[in-house]
Chains A and B, each alone.
Chain A
Amino acid sequence: MTKFHCPYVDDAAVEYVYGSMDSEQATHFRAHLPVCPACQQEVEVLKGFSNFCRQRREAPFAEIPWRKSFAIIAPPRSWLRRFPVWVPAAAVVLLLVAIGILVFSGYHEQVNDPNHQARIATAPPVEPGILGSPKHVPEMDSPVTLDVKLSGNILVGATKPKYQADAANRSPKDSRKMIAWSSQQTLEALPGASAEIELADASQVSLAQGARINLLAAGSNGDTLRLLQGSMACKITPRSSNRPFTVEAGPAQVVVKGTKFAVRLVSQDEVVVELSEGVVVVGYLQNGGKIDLKAGQEAILKRDLPIEIRDLDPKRSGLMASFEEKSSTKMASSRAGKGHPTPVPAVSQPLPQMESPHPAVEVDSPSGKDKGKGVTEDSHQDFLQDDWVFQMLRSDIDRGKYQDVLVRLDGYLADPESPNRSEAQFLKAMCQDKAGMPSQAIEAYRRYLELWPQGDRADKAKDALQRLEVNGN
């Protein structure tokens, strides 16, 4: 069929043949037809087709013979069949939703019930005279809160010693949002890591490893922290005199109006304060005597003795410098590289250089930046000597957090340089045993006995293995 060109709309022929045009349009098209071969051809084809269809319509319908004839009898419908299908389905869904709401609300209330919350631990008991800290802190009549940002690996705990530590209260490694730090909570930098606290006015407090502080006051009259253990460094944004930043430590008190300083609690009777910038007022809590400490000076406060002031010796490694030395620890590269969440606390960036005039204090998250860097010998040794992490893991096991513990132990065991692998292996077996994973527990106990046949836990491992095997697992 030859295709001719026609200025008319190509579809006009269809409308014309099937009577879809109004009379005026049809008149125009009829006048157009004699002069347009394309439309003539189109109309001819369509008319032929239309006739064909009419013949099909009128032709006797070649009905397929029914080889079967079905008679339908509808049995009486049950009462359920009176409803559309979606009604009972919707009823079931609603019932399940209601059950879910009831169950969840009960669980939620249980979780949010303060008496039922995860218990907060006291810090490991510290021998008095070394880095003594009071085990019991006088409770505030009414708790206050201070908005802070936490970074590093900080344990957020309660001041009441009866509560046990809950790993869930540990701040996330990259917590960049403000949280309300309550006077009922202590903040503690975990062993092997320092931690930073940033206040709403950009004042910064750095805690050395193992340092512990709590909040005494916050508000329009100023903010007061108490150093319970260890050492801390502060960079305080200048503030008005009626709203000072105060640190109490042992017998001493440091009132800050905007400066950079460090405080070390040597013992409950001795405190050292180093000032790198600004002016602070230091004194004793009891007798009220206070003096102004100037930049470049350090104050030594010993109970019942006069305050000793001396200049900071630039050659001597001061408190600020010691922060940097001790806190320059990094995560084990193998742990981070294998992608296992590790039981070893992450390590933050080194504390800022407090002696420089206006250092940019870096409170970066350690979560991403420190991966891939090795653990220094110092932090490793610290970890070796401190089995507090394993105590915490056992505590988690007692709470039924098996999967969390197993993940951390797997990461720890995956590192061949991990020091206390025997303890970790035994703990893993015990955790699997309690978690109801008998075959895995048997394998783990056997592994322990294979590697450490004379280990401290060998007898216990043998007993557990025998028990599991006797039970048929």
Chain B
Amino acid sequence: MAFVRTMAQTDRLGTVSWVKTPQERLSSDEEQALLQACKRQEASAWMRLYLTHRGSVQKMLFRVLGPVNEMEDLVQAVFMRVHGGLDRFNGRSRLVTWICGIATHVALEYIRKRKRLGISEDHTIEMHPSPQADPSEQLQQKRVMTRFQESLHKLAEDKRMAFVLHDLMEVPGPEIAFMLNVPEATVRTRLFHARKELARRMAKFHGEGEP
């Protein structure tokens, strides 16, 4: 696998702008055709696969890990594994589910690696508040989001993953079970405990923050 070219996508002023990921939904037939083309090592098919699912992968990683500096590298790592393991994809799930399943494992490995190295996670949120909010509201929102991210990162990895996939990304429970390779009951249990713990942490935060 080789990277052919790079492009810069920042605007002229160098500031961040809202970029929406193309959420191209493929029908099952289209997905099958794309899959077969990728297995035949067609470069254009791989390009399309990458561009189609890149946003989902990044979103999932962002939800789980927060704004990490290595985001692009992590996305790249996900697709490198997709490329290496596509022959083993047996079609029991949707392609996006399978790819996001790989992304969850990449995210878990990243979390464990940071723990092993003793690197604390950056909970700073790159906020993009709505232009209508006044500065105080924007600050409050930022505080809430930071606290939420902290609480999320204090969760155990397995609970964190189940919560992010279900409550933040609306991935159905059976697909989460497939991604994480656990029974559905386990997913429900993890989700239950994650919600309970996060709710209490956020409630405590609000209780502390009340004037």
Interface of chain B, main secondary structure: helix
- Chain B nearest CB from A83 CB (Å) reads 10
Query: Is B203 touching A71 in the complex (CB atoms < 8 A)?
Result: no
- The contact of B3 among A53, A60, A71, A77, by CB within 8 Å, is A71
Is A11 an interface residue when CB atoms closer than 8 A count as contact?
A: yes
- Please indicate the chain A residues that have their CB under 8 angstroms from the CB of B43 in the complex: 72-74
Q: Does A61 contact B (CB under 8 A)?
A: yes
Cβ of B58 and Cβ of A71 under 8 Å apart? no
Q: Is A62 an interface residue (CB 8 A)?
A: yes
List, in ascending order, chain B residues with CB within 8 A of A73's CB: 1-2, 4, 43, 46
Asked if A106 CB lies within 8 Å of chain B CBs, one says no
Question: Chain A binding site: helix, strand, loop or mixed by DSSP?
Answer: loop
Q: Find out whether the CB atom of A84 lies under 8 angstroms from the CB atom of B79.
A: no
Asked if B207 is an interface residue, CB under 8 A from chain A, the answer is yes
> Are the CB atoms of A66 and B9 closer together than 8 Å?
yes
Whether B203 pairs with A68 at a CB distance below 8 angstroms is: no
B6→A68 contact, CB < 8 A: yes
Do B59 and A61 touch across chains, with their CB atoms under 8 A apart? yes
| Docked pose: A426 CA to B199 CA in angstroms | 84
Q: Which stretch in A14-22, A107-115, A316-324 binds the other chain?
A: A14-22
Bound CA–CA A65/B15 (angstroms): 9
Instruction: Pick the residue among A20, A48, A65 that contacts B192 (CB under 8 A).
Output: A20
Q: How far is the CB of A22 from chain B (nearest CB, A)?
A: 14
Stretch at the interface among B17-25, B109-117, B176-184: B17-25
Closest chain B residue, CB of each to CB of A53: B167
B55 pairs with A45, CB closer than 8 A:
no
What number of A-B contacts does a CB cutoff of 8 Å give? 122
**A67 and B72 contact, CB distance less than 8 A:** yes
**Among candidates B50, B126, B169, B207, residue contacting A70 with C-beta atoms closer than 8 Å:** B50
B170 within 8 A of A: yes
* Cα A1 to Cα B209 with chains together (Å): 12
Residues of B close to A84: CB separation below 8 A = 87-88
In chain B, positions 194-211 with a C-beta closer than 8 Å to chain A are: 195-196, 198-200, 202-204, 206-207
B50 to chain A: closest residue by CB = A72
Q: Which residues of A contact B (CB under 8 A)?
A: 1, 11, 14-15, 18, 20, 45-46, 48-49, 52-53, 56-57, 60-77, 84
Q: List the 8 closest pairs (A to B, CB-CB), nearest first.
A: A45-B203, A49-B199, A71-B4, A69-B7, A62-B128, A68-B6, A73-B43, A74-B41
A-B contacts, 17 of them at CB < 8 A, read A15-B192, A52-B144, A52-B148, A57-B169, A61-B55, A61-B59, A63-B58, A63-B59, A67-B9, A68-B7, A70-B6, A71-B4, A72-B79, A73-B4, A74-B1, A74-B43, A75-B1
Q: B residues engaging A (CB < 8 A)?
A: 1-10, 16-21, 41, 43, 46-47, 50, 55, 58-59, 62, 67, 71-72, 76, 79, 83, 87-88, 126-128, 144, 148, 167-170, 188, 192, 195-196, 198-200, 202-204, 206-207
